[in-house]
Amino acid sequence: MICPSISLLAASGLFLGASQAAVLRKDDQTCRKTKVAILGAGVAGITAAQSLSNASISDFIIIERNDYVGGRMRNTKFGKSPDGKPYTVELGANWVEGLQSKSGNVNPIWRLAQKHKIKNTYSNGSSLVTYDETGKYDFMDIIDDFDKKWETAMEDADAIKDENLQDTSVRAGLSIAGWKPKKDMHAQAAEWWGWDFEMAVVPDQSGFLYDMSVNKAVFEHFSEDTNLVTDQRGFNALIIGEANEFLKKNDPRLLLKSIVKEIKYGPSGVKVHLKDGDCIEAEYAICTFSVGVLQNDVVKFKPTLPRWKREAIEQFQMGTYTKIFMQFNETWWPRETQFMLYADPIERGYYPMFQSLSATGFVPESNILFGTVTGTQAYQVEKQTEKETQAEIMEVLQAMFPKITVPEPTAIMYPRWSQDEMAFGSFSNWPPGMTLEKHQNLRANVDRLWFAGEANSAEFFGYLQGAWFEGKDMGDRIAHILNSDGAVADGEGELMRYEVLHGDTFKDEYDEDNGWSITLDD
């Protein structure tokens, strides 16, 4: 499938042409040399490159397996508008989550969205209608009850983290707060709306202290607002815009459609081997691959990453969040309702959420409805055909709207992130038992091989701002080393790692050793 970002990239001058690529190809014995190799052109990779450029370091190469800039900020063309042109819909990242606090804390993604004039609209959680197998059914009181128990659980998490960061599951934390949905399917749907819809992983598989902390960091440090992006250039227009500030037209430092197969690293540098036989030799490298890619041995590391690093990689998790886009000949559902929540009588999370893009401020007259599934249901949907998925959805929609004959969609489409070798999932989540020490091992460099990405952010894992902060941090750190003219001793400036884990971590000790750009108390 050709990504619509291609035309935008071409217009922006970010493509590396075939003739230029040929110039860069060397024999197997010769590698192109650079100071920093950046593996991945997503938010973390582009932000790291921008940090290097801002520090007057221009000798870097960005290596990207896709034919576009943006990583999991990916879009495609879908359906037809009244004038016959297709719409742009987001397959991956779709929201700016947490905008700007009254005290002035600004989410960097929100700042970039404003800078590049990304069209977005407030997602109003109050614009919600609830349904079950009988049709429209009001269980807003149960949702309100979940919200109250959630607040209690959040207060509990705050109290615990001030003492000792020994974690449990979100399921246990909510249960202690009095939330016990058991077999009440309306309560299960309310829980999905309050938890899974945001985190993509069930409460049983989520770490209580840290998942609560990321919610606090996103929605209290910044704001409770969440805006859905509907910009027809694509959400990744903002990161392409940033790349255009330091990459010139046909810049040879951007290698698109270049697949990394092997990374050799050591105390003197990093050598990156590509699928086409090319190689790049760098003084330092920043690996921005998703946790899913690292877990599935898509790329070979030589030597094998140390055990302390591999354990951290394997324990962290990737959630799958699948949006299923459908276009109809007309908007037959409540046009101005943003969210429709469905409580299935048998299975928790079975096609539980539908959103209208026809609502005012989004993509009016598009007649596009998209559903969301997460976790086990998302894996199942991504393994089956679109025809099978459509049949299942039609049964659900007919149950939700029994008084009308729900028409068949004219088009249906969805991504398959769990099977995508560039991701193996949508975004990361913090599992029970993952300590701050072990997460720090996920972040830590190994010799001159450094790591960045949304999963590496202790404050904002799973969010675009996490990728931005981590990319900037690693770019700044390497820029400092390179600009020190030998004044930095070997090993100085490297990230703390824990080859011996202690089972829990006291917050003051962690902050002193590693530092957080934003502490959990902010």
> 3-class DSSP state for residue 315?
helix
CA distance 477 to 245: 21
Whether residue 462 contacts residue 97, with contact meaning beta carbons closer than 8 Å, is answered with: no
> 3-class DSSP state for residue 225?
coil
CA distances from 385 to 76, 89, 322, 382 (A): 19, 20, 14, 8
Q: Can you point out the beta strands (E) in 213-255?
A: 226-229, 254-255
- Does residue 97 carry a catalytic annotation? yes
Q: Which amino acid would we find at residue 316?
A: F
CA distance 463 to 108: 11
CA angle, corner 119, sides to 115 and 122, nearest 5? 110
- Residue matched to tokens 């859905």: 228
Q: Give the DSSP letter of residue 127.
A: S
Given the residues 97, 198, 382, 470, the one annotated as active site: 97
Q: Which two tokens stand for residue 396?
A: 């659900």
Whether residue 378 contacts residue 384, with contact meaning beta carbons closer than 8 Å, is answered with: no
DSSP β-bridge partners for residue 302? 264
Non-local CB neighbours of 461 within 8 Å, separated by 6+ positions: 210, 214, 428, 429, 430, 454, 455
Q: Longest Cα pair distance anywhere in the chain, in angstroms?
A: 75
- Mind telling me the catalytic residues? 97
